[in-house]
Amino acid sequence: MTADSSASGRPITVSVVDDDPMICQAMSMILNDYSGGRVTVVSTSGNGRDAVEQARAEHPDVVLMDIAMPGGDGIEATARLRRLPDPPHVLILTSLSPKDTVERAAEAGAEGFVSKTDAPEEIIDRIIGACEGRPQYNPASQRQLLADLHAHRPLTRRDEARALLDTLSERERQAVLLAAEGLTNQEIAERMFTSERTAKAHLSSASEKLCMSRVQIAQLVGRADLPSPLD
């Protein structure tokens, strides 16, 4: 589709989506007047719903998609565009990179970001680059994507640790949580109102189920970040 545009010499067709008519007008002027015939704007729209319908009818090569708009945000519209039979490339049109936006946009199928404050040639280069199959994430969006991934990674490790602990019985779970606090078998027994032999049996059973030593279980409990039992 867009690769053929470049090869055939015909302009790359673009649809601009933003609920601010001034932004649509400015982007249209930049792309039509500064691209030297390489890019042409075929339509503009003010919400995601209209953008999808226009793309279905016009088959633009690229859609520049704003994020916050009426009728569903731009990321939802991006996902709908990418499910079309002949989907356009989508670049998110934004002046900011709010938390989680970059990751959500990538998951929806967006191939990069275009800042509303970028120089005209940079915007045009990003559109051409997307058509050539090159992801167009500027340094700010790359930093945000990495920040989002790092922010989610500890939660994933915590959830994995909690899921492992959930495989234990209630009494085994209580025993390992107390052991992770550094309590001896006798102290664990006293806290659980049972015998030391029974407390030790709970810990041994938990160790066998998890295939972990007492030290490894303590580390697992630390990652799970759970409240102390019987408080």
What's the CATH code of the domain at 214?
A: 1.10.10.10
Domain tally, the chain: 2
Q: What is the pTM of this model?
A: 0.61
Give the three-state DSSP class for 227.
coil
Nearest-CA neighbor of 164 among 228, 212, 231?
Answer: 212
Residue 116 near residue 23 (C-beta atoms within 8 A): yes
From residue 52, alpha-carbon distances to 64, 83, 90 in Å are 12, 10, 11
pLDDT of residue 151: 59
Co-location of 131 and 177 in the same domain: no
pLDDT of residue 102: 75
Residue 180 placed within a domain = yes
The DSSP call for residue 115 is E
Residue 160 placed within a domain = no
CA–CA dist 6, 13 (Å, integer): 11
Nearest-CA neighbor of 12 among 116, 102, 88?
Answer: 88
**Digits of tens for pLDDT over the chain (231 positions)?**
444 455 557 899 999 999 999 999 999 999 999 999 999 999 999 999 999 999 999 999 999 999 888 766 898 999 999 999 999 999 998 866 555 677 778 888 888 888 888 899 999 999 999 999 887 876 666 666 656 555 555 667 788 888 889 999 999 999 999 998 889 999 999 999 999 999 999 999 999 888 888 888 888 898 888 765 544
Chain CA centroid to CA 98, Å = 12
CA–CA dist 77, 51 (Å, integer): 8
Co-location of 128 and 99 in the same domain: yes
Structural domain harbouring 25: 2-146
Residue 162 placed within a domain = no
Domain boundary at 89, 116, 146, which? Answer: 146
Give the three-state DSSP class for 203.
helix
Cα end-to-end span (Å), the chain: 64
Co-location of 15 and 86 in the same domain: yes
The H-or-E segment that residue 154 falls in is helix 139-165
CA–CA dist 155, 223 (Å, integer): 9
Co-location of 115 and 18 in the same domain: yes
The CATH number covering residue 94 comes to 3.40.50.2300
Residue 153 placed within a domain = no
CA–CA dist 81, 85 (Å, integer): 9
Co-location of 38 and 75 in the same domain: yes
The neighbour count for residue 42, using CB atoms within 10 Å, is 16
Co-location of 189 and 115 in the same domain: no
Domain boundary at 146, 179, 195, which? Answer: 146
Residue 98 placed within a domain = yes
